[in-house]
Amino acid sequence: MTKNCNHNLCKSSALLAAEKICEQLGARFTQHRRRVFEIVWQSHKAMSAADIMIEMDNKQPPITYRALDFLKSAGLIHHITSLNAYIGCMHAKNPDHVGQLLICTKCNNVAELEPKEAVKELIEQAKQQGFSTQITHIEMLGTCNECE
Amino acid sequence: MTKNCNHNLCKSSALLAAEKICEQLGARFTQHRRRVFEIVWQSHKAMSAADIMIEMDNKQPPITYRALDFLKSAGLIHHITSLNAYIGCMHAKNPDHVGQLLICTKCNNVAELEPKEAVKELIEQAKQQGFSTQITHIEMLGTCNECE
DNA sequence: AGTCTAGTGTTAAATTGTAACAGTTGCAAT
DNA sequence: ATTGCAACTGTTACAATTTAACACTAGACT
């Protein structure tokens, strides 16, 4: 998926999905937002805000951070907290999904799974402790099959 | 656990464990390392590097960051990446444990579970994609039973 | 005693992220 | 078509967070 995708196709279908989602939200998919989205979707590698700014036309940090915040809260990208970096979300259409991010520490590629059962179990175990879960972050660092 | 602990006991047993682990590692549990460890263990609340520095005697950032790095790599504390904060590890004796952190967004208390089966399942699913996991971060944000 | 490694102290700086506020644009309602 | 409002932009300046670098010191082991 991550590796053997026809990435032009992959990216343009993500773009279409993003446009649709913005429309549904009544938000505008403006120049900056589109540009940041395209940069993040350039590859399946995690990109830091700094990486993104290098490619931005307008280098002023607030522009980039605002776009990232928007895309994140619209569910179009993920913030990888353990790297402080961003990656396009593969399941943006699916509103309440919880991604499991598989991050290759060698090539920096990120894949995403939707491990529904296991996550339910985690949430259930938390509940048994009286904890009511709102947001779940699952990030796994390791090596992908190409980098073994 | 997190709430109804006799915290003096809780903290001092953590300290003893830390001393033992450092000895096993052949590393020194120096002044600064001990001090940072104590500050983190003061409570079961997540503390940022800045929070810690406020309580440090020597305020110079490198001192604190170095101690945090050491404690983290010795497995004595966890870095909560989604908050950029730290918390004492409740299972430090157990070398290859994978913590699931339950972070209350109201009171900032952090509890830790060891959800063996569910995590195995996550690792297994990753493996089926050809991904070999080395480090796992599971962080869940929500509200604890006292804050409901 | 000598030497080697781990740890310290210190300065300074890079990197990363935000506040604030005036200006502008798209869109909807009169 | 104007007006008015909310969303979005541009810009400056700053705050917060983290790291580099390097000379120095203490402890541990021949």
**DSSP codes, B25-51:** HT----HHHHHHHHHHHTSSB-B-HHH
Query: CA B122 → C1' D22, Å?
Result: 45
Query: CA A139 → C1' D22, Å?
Result: 37
Minimum distance, in Å, between the CA of residue B71 and any CA atom of chain A: 17
**Angle between the N-to-C axes of helices A31-41 and A7-25, in degrees from 0 to 180, rounded to the nearest 10:** 150
Q: Which two tokens stand for residue B48?
A: 């940022």
Residue B38 phi, psi (nearest 5): -65, -40
Rounded CA separation A7/B5 (Å): 53
Q: Which residues of B touch A111 (CB under 8 A)?
A: 129, 131
Q: Say whether pLDDT at B141 is over 60.
A: yes
Assigned domain for A1 exists: no
**Among all strands, which nt has the closest C1' to B48 (CA)?**
D17
Instruction: CATH number of the domain at A42, please.
Output: 1.10.10.10
Q: Which two tokens stand for residue A129?
A: 């402790």
Q: Which residues of B touch A144 (CB under 8 A)?
A: 130-131
Digits of tens for pLDDT over chain A (148 positions)? 555 789 999 999 999 999 999 999 999 999 999 999 999 999 999 999 999 999 998 889 999 999 999 999 999 999 999 999 999 998 887 767 888 999 999 999 999 999 899 999 999 999 999 999 999 999 999 999 999 8
Q: Say whether pLDDT at B3 is over 70.
A: no
Closest partner residue to A136 among B132, B134, B140, by Cβ? B140
Range of the domain at B67: 7-142
pTM, rounded to two decimals: 0.93
Q: Which two tokens stand for residue A88?
A: 């396009």
Report the footprint of strand D: residues with C-beta closer than 7 angstroms. Answer: A 27-28, 30-33, 58, 60-63, 66-67, 70; B 28, 48-50, 61-62, 65, 84
Q: How many domains does chain A have?
A: 1
Rounded CA separation B17/B91 (Å): 10
Minimum distance, in Å, between the CA of residue B112 and any CA atom of chain A: 9
Rounded CA separation A96/A109 (Å): 24
Q: To which H or E segment does residue B139 belong?
A: strand B132-143
Assigned domain for B14 exists: yes
Assigned domain for A138 exists: yes
Q: Is B111's CB within 8 Å of A102's CB?
A: no
Model confidence over B113-129: pLDDT tens digits?
A: 988 899 999 999 999 99
Write b or e for each residue in B71-87: b if 16 or more Cβ atoms lie within 10 A of its Cβ, otherwise e. Answer: beebbbbbbbbbbebbb
Write b or e for each residue in A24-37: b if 16 or more Cβ atoms lie within 10 A of its Cβ, otherwise e. Answer: eeeeebeebbbbbb
Query: CA A31 → C1' C24, Å?
Result: 15
Q: What are the DSSP E strand ranges found in chain A?
A: 77-80, 85-88, 100-104, 110-113, 132-143
